[in-house]
Amino acid sequence: MNAVTITFDRVFDIVHRSRRNRVLSTEFGFESADVKESGVAVPGAPRIEAGMTVTAVLERPGDWRTLLGWVNHGTGEIACRSAASSLGGIVAMLLGSLWASHLMSTRPLVAAFVIVVSILCCVGSVVGMRKAIRTRRLLEAARSTLASRDAGSNA
Residue 44's identity, in one-letter code, is G
pLDDT above 80 (res 151): no
Question: Do 23 and 43 form a contact (C-beta atoms < 8 A)?
Answer: yes
What per-residue confidence (pLDDT) applies to 48? 94
What per-residue confidence (pLDDT) applies to 81? 87
pLDDT above 60 (res 155): no
pLDDT above 60 (res 29): yes
**Phi, psi (rounded to 5 degrees) for 33:** 55, -115
Residue 28 binned pLDDT confidence (cut-offs 50, 70, 90) = very high
The residue among 139, 141, 153 whose CA lies nearest residue 58 is 139
Domain edges within the chain: 2-84+122-154
What per-residue confidence (pLDDT) applies to 34? 86
Residue 6 binned pLDDT confidence (cut-offs 50, 70, 90) = very high
* Rounded Cα–Cα distance for residues 10 and 119 (Å): 44
Point out which residues pair with 80 in neighbouring strands.
69
What per-residue confidence (pLDDT) applies to 38? 92
What per-residue confidence (pLDDT) applies to 148? 78
Summarize the confidence of residues 45-57 as an average pLDDT: 93
What per-residue confidence (pLDDT) applies to 21? 61
pLDDT above 80 (res 85): no
Report the chain's C-alpha Rg in angstroms: 20
Summarize the confidence of residues 103-128 as an average pLDDT: 90
Cα–Cα distances in angstroms (integers) from residue 151 to residues 110, 129, 137, in the given order? 61, 33, 21
Summarize the confidence of residues 108-132 as an average pLDDT: 90
Cα–Cα distances in angstroms (integers) from residue 93 to residues 96, 112, 118, 144, in the given order? 5, 13, 4, 37
Summarize the confidence of residues 39-60 as an average pLDDT: 92
pTM: 0.78
pLDDT above 90 (res 146): no
